[in-house]
């Protein structure tokens, strides 16, 4: 019997341990790979597998309509086409596809680089999502893309996309606003806000358009709709196949949902009339419903066509717009302030009456100038107005009368009443960007002017010059308060409706306060505003209406310091000419409409602002009469309002008193004289 060496017992145990260890390691590797494939990247591979036969295309939603108070469509959506690219389906040939697209669609260098950058950075699921490479292509471009569809492979699609249409171009464009493409950082921020809010709101995608200014921006969430989805069966290169059972019929198409509609308080008939009537290069025309505080018209000039801003605009075109010295993107009604000129004299008058500086019957002698501390202030009438009371001073716009009042009051009292009347603070219009204007007191001058406050500054402020600045909308609210006793928060939106027209939210008139003056104070100021339009000595007497009594105030605001000789507007360059103002309301006995006109760099308020305001008031009353007849359903001749009584004869020109030695004007207070 042959003997063989025996195998040590320890060697068998070692072999078993090695085999067990190897098996365990293999199992761990397999488990790790399965975890990576199914857990860490499971969603990506699931979508990748599914995209081999299903491609999802977005169906963009129509944005909500913007309508005027009579439901006339001002802003809607027009059919257009966007070109989209899905990176996954062009595979390694993406560079060739982009080059071909750039040639066919005449990409700019920036456009081509943006597309290539997106392709370079697309990772994971982003590769399966459509990326918009060009928006709102022309009909010719659409034909070119379709003719070259085979060369572009299934990676390129053309999607019907609603594009914003502003039917009336630049008219009311500052109020309406415009849209443009969301930026990369903005996209991240907006989606983070949506996620944080936890609302059931669809996130934004690259190259989506968002409201950029005006109502488009303020009501972005209301106007924006919900996109739908179209699912298409495709091959591995993205080319569409015939429908099959791979996609249940109920899942092939999810329709989009339009956004909600805005119904504005603007009456487009009045807006259109004001746009055509206003002769200014730059300025604003604002009309307010005196009974509700809702805007009826808002002209703001110059302006940029929102269709251009929301469409194909080159960098050169945009640069030209922003280099324009007239600043067409500036929303003058709320974002620019101006010296109010003589329209501010109502504030000085109210302050003097309420502070007891001016009593009923008080008069001032105007020799055409006012002297204080070695400095002389001119009156608007070089020869002077003689002895005048408040009615005559407001009606004829006598500067010396208000110099004398401010000399006795000082800056702080004028500023206090200006603030109480709403100046120096936003009006509360529900749009972004409204500035507060400036209603300076002594502390303001100490902080902002070299040398601090000087008493003579009150004289400049009293006639709406110096450092007092107001926006056109503040003027509208101020004169609305004088007309009705109510300080309105102006509004432009009446209600929000769903796509079917059902009301989702309605906005009620909003009174922020009441005119904080005694009835006799308002009555005294009203006499002056009536005189300005209806008395022969009034600065707007030529603008009076035959059948309706209108109250108002002209203003001519200096842009540069007066020289020794007065010059006509035509004798100086455009940007050195005075601003023309007119603020008015009618009918004076029961106001229905308030109108403010600012005609920049045009000259006198009486000749360059008052005609437009009067025409707008007249047109509104005509429209009101037309609407009344339409409601009655009777075609009858228009009935004019009852004729107003003839204005009282002007007071006889008083004899001129002797010029006072100190102040340059005599002030009488109910028979008592005072400096």
Report the distance separating Cα 211 and Cα 220, nearest Å: 6
Report the distance separating Cα 408 and Cα 200, nearest Å: 62
CB count, 10 Å around CB of 624?
13
Q: Is residue 574, in this structure, part of any structural domain at all? A: yes
8 Å CB contact between 592 and 534: no
Asked if residue 237 has pLDDT above 70, the reply is no
Q: Is residue 538, in this structure, part of any structural domain at all? A: yes
Report percent pLDDT > 90 for the chain: 57
Q: Which helix (H) or strand (E) holds 81?
A: strand 73-85
Q: How many domains does the chain have?
A: 1
* Chain centre to alpha carbon of residue 549: 33
Q: Which residue has the higher pLDDT, 104 or 468?
A: 468
Q: Which residue has the higher pLDDT, 593 or 669?
A: 593
- Residue 19 to residues 16, 25, 377: CA-CA distances in angstroms? 5, 10, 109
CB count, 10 Å around CB of 378?
14
CATH of the domain at 471: 3.40.710.10
Backbone angles phi, psi at 535, to 5 degrees: -100, 145
Which tens digits make up the pLDDT trace of 605-628? 889 999 999 999 999 999 999 999
- Residue 74's pLDDT band (boundaries 50, 70, 90)? very high
Residue 647: the pLDDT is 42
Q: Is residue 556, in this structure, part of any structural domain at all? A: yes
Q: Which of 310-324, 449-463, 478-492 has the lowest mean pLDDT?
A: 310-324
Q: Is residue 253, in this structure, part of any structural domain at all? A: no
Report the distance separating Cα 331 and Cα 173, nearest Å: 9
Q: What's the whole-number mean pLDDT along residues 158-165?
A: 87
Q: Which helix (H) or strand (E) holds 579?
A: strand 579-586
Q: Which residue has the higher pLDDT, 654 or 293?
A: 293
Q: Is residue 315, in this structure, part of any structural domain at all? A: no
Which tens digits make up the pLDDT trace of 301-312? 999 999 999 877
Most confident of 72-81, 112-121, 489-498: 489-498
> What is the domain extent for residue 390?
330-674
Q: Is residue 629, in this structure, part of any structural domain at all? A: yes
Q: Is residue 189, in this structure, part of any structural domain at all? A: no
Strand pairing partners for 83?
A: 134, 158
Residue 96: the pLDDT is 84
Which tens digits make up the pLDDT trace of 365-388? 999 999 998 899 999 899 999 999
Q: Which residue has the higher pLDDT, 477 or 52?
A: 477
DSSP states of 215-248: HHHHTHHHH--B-EEEEEEB-TTS-B----TTS-
DSSP reduced 3-state for 351: helix
Report the distance separating Cα 483 and Cα 489, nearest Å: 15
Report the distance separating Cα 606 and Cα 619, nearest Å: 19
- Residue 183's pLDDT band (boundaries 50, 70, 90)? confident
Average pLDDT, the chain: 85
Is the whole-model pTM more than 0.85? no
Q: What's the whole-number mean pLDDT along residues 476-487?
A: 97
Minimal CA–CA distance to 378: which of 280, 445, 463?
A: 463
Q: Is residue 1, in this structure, part of any structural domain at all? A: no
- With 0-12 / 13-18 / 19 or more C-beta atoms within 10 angstroms meaning exposed / middle / buried, residue 83 is buried
CB count, 10 Å around CB of 292?
20
Residue 569: the pLDDT is 58
Tokens of 604: 């006198």
């Amino acid at each position: 019997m042959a003997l063989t060496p025996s195998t040590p017992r320890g060697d068998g145990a070692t072999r078993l341990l090695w085999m067990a260890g190897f098996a365990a390691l293999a199992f761990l590797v397999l488990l790790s790979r399965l975890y990576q494939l199914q857990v860490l990247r499971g969603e990506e591979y699931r979508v990748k597998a599914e995209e081999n036969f299903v491609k999802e295309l977005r169906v963009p939603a129509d944005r909500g309509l913007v309508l005027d108070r009579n439901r006339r469509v001002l802003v809607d959506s027009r059919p257009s086409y966007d070109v989209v690219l899905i990176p996954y389906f062009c595979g390694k040939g993406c560079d060739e596809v982009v080059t071909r697209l750039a040639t066919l669609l005449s990409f700019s260098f920036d456009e081509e680089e943006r597309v290539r950058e997106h392709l370079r950075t697309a990772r994971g699921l982003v590769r399966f999502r459509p990326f918009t490479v060009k928006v709102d292509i022309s009909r010719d471009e659409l034909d070119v893309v379709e003719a070259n569809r085979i060369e572009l492979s299934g990676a390129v699609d053309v999607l019907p996309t609603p594009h914003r249409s502003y039917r009336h171009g630049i008219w009311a464009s500052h109020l309406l606003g415009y849209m443009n493409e969301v930026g990369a950082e903005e996209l991240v921020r907006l989606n983070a806000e949506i996620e944080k809010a936890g609302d059931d709101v669809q996130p934004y995608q690259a190259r989506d358009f968002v409201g950029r200014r005006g109502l488009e921006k303020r009501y972005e969430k209301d106007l924006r709709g919900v996109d739908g989805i179209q699912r298409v069966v495709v091959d591995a290169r993205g080319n569409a196949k015939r429908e099959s059972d791979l996609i249940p019929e109920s899942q092939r198409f999810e329709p989009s949902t339009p956004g909600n509609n805005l119904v504005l308080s603007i009456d487009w008939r009045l807006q259109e009339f004001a746009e055509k009537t206003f002769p200014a290069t730059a300025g604003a025309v604002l009309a307010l419903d005196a009974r509700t505080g809702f805007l009826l018209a808002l002209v703001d000039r110059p302006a940029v066509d929102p269709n251009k801003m929301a469409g194909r605009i080159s960098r050169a075109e945009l640069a030209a717009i922003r280099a324009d010295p007239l600043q067409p993107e500036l929303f003058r009604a709320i974002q620019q302030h101006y010296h109010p000129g003589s329209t501010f004299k109502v504030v000085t008058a109210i302050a003097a009456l309420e502070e007891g500086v001016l009593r009923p019957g008080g008069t001032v002698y105007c020799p055409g100038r006012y002297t204080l501390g070695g400095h002389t202030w001119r009156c608007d009438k070089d020869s002077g107005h003689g002895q005048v009371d408040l009615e005559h001073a407001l009606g004829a716009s006598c500067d010396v009368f208000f110099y004398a009042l401010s000399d006795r009051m000082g800056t702080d009292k004028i500023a206090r009443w200006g603030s109480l009347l709403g100046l120096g603070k936003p009006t509360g219009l529900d749009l972004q960007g409204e500035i507060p204007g400036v209603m300076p007191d002594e502390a303001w001058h100490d902080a902002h002017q070299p040398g601090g406050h000087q008493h003579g500054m009150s004289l400049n402020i009293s006639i709406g010059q110096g450092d007092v600045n107001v926006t056109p909308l503040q003027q509208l609210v101020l004169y609305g308060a004088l007309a009705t006793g109510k300080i309105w928060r102006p509004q432009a939106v009446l209600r929000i409706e769903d796509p079917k027209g059902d009301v989702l939210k309605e906005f009620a008139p909003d009174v922020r306060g009441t005119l904080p003056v005694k009835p006799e104070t308002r009555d005294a100021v009203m006499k002056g505003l009536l005189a300005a339009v209806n008395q022969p000595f009034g600065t707007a007497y030529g603008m009076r209406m035959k059948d309706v009594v209108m109250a108002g105030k002209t203003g001519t605001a200096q842009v540069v310091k007066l020289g020794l000789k007065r010059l006509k507007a035509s004798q100086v360059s455009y940007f050195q000419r005075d601003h023309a103002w007119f603020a008015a309301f009618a009918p004076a006995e029961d106001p229905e409409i308030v109108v403010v006109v600012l005609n920049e760099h045009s000259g006198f308020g009486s000749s360059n602002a008052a005609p437009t305001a009067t025409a707008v008031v007249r047109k509104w009353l005509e429209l009101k009469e037309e609407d009344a007849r339409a409601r009655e359903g009777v075609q009858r001749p228009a009935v004019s309002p009852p004729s107003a009584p003839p204005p009282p004869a002007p007071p006889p020109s008083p004899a001129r008193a002797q010029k006072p030695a100190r102040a340059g004007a005599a002030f009488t207070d109910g028979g008592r004289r005072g400096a």
